[in-house]
Structure 1
Amino acid sequence: MTVSFPYRYQYTKIMPECSRVSLEHCMRYERRTLLKGSTLAGASVLGLPATVASRRAAADAENRVAGTVSYFGEPVEDAVVSLEGVDETTDEDGRYKVATDADEARLAVEAPGYAEWSREIDFADDEAVTVNASLGRAWGDETGELRVYATEPEGGSGIPCRITAYGDEVYQADAPEGGIPDSGSWDRGLRVSEGWWEVRITDAAGYDDGYDEVYVEAGETELAWAKLEEGDATIPATGRVFGRVVDEQTQPVENATVRIAGEQVPVDDDGTFDVDREHGQHAVEAEAPGYRPLRGGVLVRFGRETELIVPLESE
């Protein structure tokens, strides 16, 4: 639907049609677009608790927990990690360490712009446990202002383009002067929910597509600045979901059916699948003869690939 603003251009507000179901995931950048880089290790696991990656005997009497906090494979810095009243913050690599004398404890993670994450841990005597937390994003009820500009890397005049802003909703606008606001927009940007916003710049003649990501605080104004290089590289509006359906022994499941956002995706005999989907959170359903049906969700980001491992249990 089209939402009218007191500007001389219109914004198209795209409501995501998906369920908000948490899911651990990893990400690797799309090789053939601007959003490219090295592969990040890991795998998504649908419907399973956080992986206890390793255990080792501790030298003292405390039960210790260490690991990383990330979003889509990217470390989350300054997240607060709590364990039975003890709080620590993650470093720039998303790493943390906490300890407790309790035999059972709740590990919780909080960070601005992300949904709270928690896990119950049962310790053996003098045990050290590694738990990696993969966060999902969340947006607040209050709003702030998002301004967007597209220029050459050193700055200068705005470059005419199309702007798409992704958060709890999606906004699109043509920006003939290369930004929001412009000379006809009453010096106001987009009114958006508090939280993280990704901005994708397209249709800038003679320039690569652009990207920026900013956190908008309630009642504050934040600038997303896309620095465009000359070229014709593009950032697609969709992301790719690839993965496989496996059993309890991680062996491929034959004759599996997988639906993402209500649409069935082709699954090969070896349980693998590969499909493009729009940016956003999508419901996932999987089933196979002799196995219990499974429901969960997957987060898709434009220009990226998400690996999704779907584990089915025998009936």
Structure 2
Amino acid sequence: MRRDRRSLLTGAGFAGVSLLGATAIGSAAATADGGERRVAGTVSHFGEPVEEATVSLEGNEDTTGEDGRFELRTDAGEALLEVEADGYRSWSSRIALGEDETVTVDVTLDRTWSDETGELQVYATEVGGGSTIPCHVTVYGDEEYYADAPNGAIPDYDNWQRGFRVSEGWWEVRVTDVAGYDDGYQEVYVEAGESELAWVELEEGDRTIPSTGRVAGRVVDQRDEAVSGATLRIGGEPISVAPDGAFEADLEHGRHPLVAEADGYRPRRGTVTVRFGRETELVVVLENDVK
């Protein structure tokens, strides 16, 4: 599944994370006839649509396309909505539906990796192909691996006899340190026992993809108002919170534990996922500490 590197790594839409839950559920006016209920929405990961996800609603199924959208119908007043996709954790939720109602459900999936392994090969060339170009390669999944590729390929059967041995799942490939070319990006799914090639096509230029990602957001109460005197720690490090509740920090790629606290509120603990070259928007909601 190809993605445009420039929009993927610079777009502002790869966000929408909240520690109160990553799934938005709402209602809309129905167009169904005869008391039929309908559930419609999207399946995404980090703001990107998830294609070929299987969405089921009490025995009825739909498969998402490139836009990640689905739509299902049922006669039941309450139904179990389930979502599955290769390389992602399964998701489910029970949905209440009124007569002649359409409920909108936008589902965010988290990636997962299996204990089985496959091989990830990497080639770096100019756009359209040609000779491979010397570079540095970093791959990101459930682990992070990196290597110099003096011949522009892993394996090259000179310095490297095989590709990266990685867990089955989605892997992101970042190619850097190529004089005269932008940094490159590719994303591939590696199946257990199989070899998958990440062909990274490099454009002329000097743009870089940073190894870190940014977390930006606000600490608010249940009325969406800034929490005075809130403190925030991500990955054990204190993060400055402005009087209006705003904060931002550059962090290493990966999952980081988060703790937010304030007098008169219950502490909020969770995790935040940071991806290199992108920004995660995070709303941390604190609840009143009722004693």
Q: Same fold judged by TM-score > 0.5?
A: yes
Q: Tell whether 2:134 aligns with 1:195.
A: no
Separation of aligned partners in 2, 1:186 and 1:193: 19
Query: Tell me, what secondary structure is at the counterpart of 1:35?
Result: helix
Q: Paired residue for 1:211? A: 185
Which position in structure 1 is the counterpart of 2:147? 173
Bigger relative contact order, structure 1 or 2 (CA pairs below 8 A, ≥6 apart): 1
Corresponding letter in the other structure for 1:172: Y
Separation in 2, partners of 1:30, 1:243: 23
Between 159-168 and 183-192, the greater mean CA deviation after superposition: 183-192
Q: Give how far 1:95 is off.
A: 0.4
Which residue among 249, 255, 259 is the counterpart of 2:233? Answer: 259
CA distance in 2, matches of 1:146, 1:219: 11
1:26 corresponds in structure 2 to none
Aligned AA for 2:230?
A: A
2:213 matches 1:239: yes
- Once the two structures are superposed, the pairs formed by residues 1-315 of structure 1 within 5 Å of their partners are 35-37=9-11, 39-40=12-13, 43-48=16-21, 50-57=23-30, 58-185=32-159, 187-315=161-289
Runs of 4+ in structure 1 deviating by more than 4 angstroms, as ranges, are none
Bigger shift: 202-211 or 40-49? Answer: 40-49
Contact 1:244/1:272, CA 8 A, preserved across alignment: yes
State how far apart, in whole Å, the 2-side matches of 1:150 and 1:118 are. Answer: 39
Structural RMSD (CA): 1.9
CA contact (8 A) 2:14 2:278 kept: no
CA distance in 1, matches of 2:91, 2:232: 27
The residue identity in structure 2 corresponding to 1:278 is E
Rounded to whole Å, the distance in 1 between the matches of 2:194 and 2:124 is 21
Which consecutive unaligned segments of at least 5 residues does structure 1 have? 1-28
Q: Deviations over 1:58-86 (max 9, x none)?
A: 43322211000011111111100011122
Q: CA deviation at 1:140?
A: 1.2
Change (3 A) 1:41 1:114: closer
Instruction: Report the TM-score when normalising by structure 1.
Output: 0.85
Give aligned pairs, total.
Answer: 284
Tell me the CA shift for residue 48 of structure 1.
2.9
User: Scaled by the length of structure 2, what TM-score is found?
Assistant: 0.92
